[in-house]
Amino acid sequence: MTHEIPESDLLRMARDAARDAYAPYSGFRVGAALLAGSGKVYTGFNVENASYGATCCAERIAFYRALAAGERTFRAIAVTGGRPGETETDCPPCGICLQVMREFCDPGQFLILLASRKAPLAAFLPFGFSLDDSTGSV
Amino acid sequence: MTHEIPESDLLRMARDAARDAYAPYSGFRVGAALLAGSGKVYTGFNVENASYGATCCAERIAFYRALAAGERTFRAIAVTGGRPGETETDCPPCGICLQVMREFCDPGQFLILLASRKAPLAAFLPFGFSLDDSTGSV
Amino acid sequence: MTHEIPESDLLRMARDAARDAYAPYSGFRVGAALLAGSGKVYTGFNVENASYGATCCAERIAFYRALAAGERTFRAIAVTGGRPGETETDCPPCGICLQVMREFCDPGQFLILLASRKAPLAAFLPFGFSLDDSTGSV
Amino acid sequence: MTHEIPESDLLRMARDAARDAYAPYSGFRVGAALLAGSGKVYTGFNVENASYGATCCAERIAFYRALAAGERTFRAIAVTGGRPGETETDCPPCGICLQVMREFCDPGQFLILLASRKAPLAAFLPFGFSLDDSTGSV
């Protein structure tokens, strides 16, 4: 259990979100389900762009939706991704998304759930960059 | 009128959204209110990051929220921004946001509303980059 | 002539640069050749990333190389792009690159050269976002 | 020693590069010195933008310069940063830069040198996202 929501439910919500991804360039569909401090879940999928640099990942979109809804604390995020028909493997967040998580989450507490493993943010980004404290989060 | 919603209402919603911006680094708060094809409005504010490159603008967040809610067509976006206490001036979308609009909007039809002017996307990004057609949108 | 360098030379340098692009995901190779205030030319090509959002375009890389070499004023940039074997068409800069050009260039003076047309930056990004003056550049 | 170049020299080159950073918005100047497979060193500094999301970090600019010069293998990068007059502390690369390093470097071999510590890329980004293999690099 991740607090009130079973982890398997959070992963399922991420998988469901991935179905609607806007991924015409890569064909790689990613879904995310973010459990906020309030207990509500916010989903996201990747939104690609003809100029690849303007692409946004599923994880960040889940964060932006939660922040826009007033959330400021976060407990866990489930992330799944792949091409339709492929066997599911772990799809870890990219560095950009880890950087956004670092801005809002406690690295030792915030959990990242992948298809077959889970670990706190600090395990994914042990020495995060921040402007307050640039000496790493662990 | 922008379809069902008066333009002044869309601008007011953008101004309201800006109040909750996460802008600890610039102090510059931007709000956006996006009128989708369904007639619903999706708001956004800027979400900055210690690594400035991981910052996301208000306009893109409004789009991501709308896309995540299933919208795929868009009519207009109102954008306002500034530092608290400053007189409001026009705050045009940055190039990154224009690039994201270009992916989903008809450049001749999609309207951008600023505090004191309005024009279609094509007036802001006359020769947009896309992978289908790289010869400009006008 | 763009100052000392014929425009056709600048376009040729852009085409040459595109050959070495790191574009394993899109197969779309872009090249840029930037004429700086000193009269020197700096080239760039697109560098893609598995996380599409971490991709950088040819135009920005040309600017970063020039800035790192000490340049602070710019005259013109030639941009070409396409997939190998395709007929060349105009490849206008994306919004992100236009935003970077806006930071360093005079919109009315800085020239953008495409395969079959040329125009100043102001024609590509008429109402640019800046923090000093958010009322547009034209 | 990092191969031919002493680590202290690489750090000094990073510090020197930081002096010319274009950081009018944050005042936070970062420098990077990248040792490529050829034995050559490529420096970079941060280049900010009025639209914070269009900012590029020192580390990525060092990579783009090296890639543009034909390098495709990399050994180590030194990174330093801070505000003028502050005591130097470790300035770890942000997630975006780690993601770009992940595209071109062997996570177990590529060294990241900070003011007071060093570790391979794998220690900074243990479970990196890539499109070939999304199961982590360690």
Look at B29-38, B43-52, D10-19, D86-95 and tell me which has the smallest mean pLDDT.
D86-95
Average pLDDT over residues D15-32: 97
pLDDT average per 10 residues of sequence, chain B (138 residues): 80 97 97 98 98 98 98 98 87 98 98 97 94 46
Asked if D7 is an active-site residue, the reply is no
Give CA C89 to chain center in angstroms: 15
Is the pLDDT at A132 greater than 80? The verdict is no
Is the pLDDT at C136 greater than 90? The verdict is no
Cβ-defined contact of D50 to C102 (cutoff 8 Å): yes
Average pLDDT over residues A14-39: 97
8 A C-beta contact, residue B62 and residue B32: yes
d(CA B57, CA B44): 8
Residues of chain A with Cβ-Cβ distance to C25 below 8 Å are 25-26, 52
Give chains near B: 3+ CB pairs under 8 A: A, C, D
The per-residue pLDDT for range C30-79, each reduced to its tens digit, is 999 999 999 999 999 999 999 999 999 999 999 999 999 999 999 999 99
> Locate tokens 């530092």: which residue?
B83
Residues of chain A with Cβ-Cβ distance to B22 below 8 Å are 67
Count of alpha carbons within 13 Å of D96, Cβ hemisphere only? 30
Cβ-defined contact of A127 to D131 (cutoff 8 Å): no
Residues of chain C with Cβ-Cβ distance to D51 below 8 Å are 99, 129
Cβ-defined contact of B52 to D95 (cutoff 8 Å): no
**Chain D residues with CB-CB distance to C under 8 A?**
17, 20, 22, 25, 43-45, 47, 49-51, 54, 56, 60-61, 63-65, 67-68, 70, 96, 99-100, 102-103, 129-132
Residues of chain D with Cβ-Cβ distance to A119 below 8 Å are 127
> Locate tokens 């510059």: which residue?
B28
Cβ-defined contact of C90 to B134 (cutoff 8 Å): yes
8 A C-beta contact, residue A67 and residue A26: no
Q: Radius of gyration of chain A from Cα atoms?
A: 14
pLDDT at A38: 97
pLDDT at A135: 40
Residue C122's CB is within 10 A of a number of other CB atoms, namely 20
To the nearest whole angstrom, how far is the Cα of D26 from the nearest Cα of chain B?
7
Please identify which of the residues D4, D48, D59, D103 carries the catalytic annotation: D59
8 A C-beta contact, residue C92 and residue C79: yes
Is the pLDDT at D135 greater than 60? The verdict is no
How deeply is C12 buried, as exposed, middle or buried, from its count of CB atoms within 10 A (0-12, 13-18, 19+)? middle
d(CA B67, CA D113): 41
Residue of B nearest to C90 (CA): B135
**For residue D49, which of A97, C131, C48, B58 has the smallest C-alpha distance?**
C131
Residue of C nearest to A60 (CA): C53
User: ipTM value of the model?
Assistant: 0.92
d(CA A111, CA D71): 37
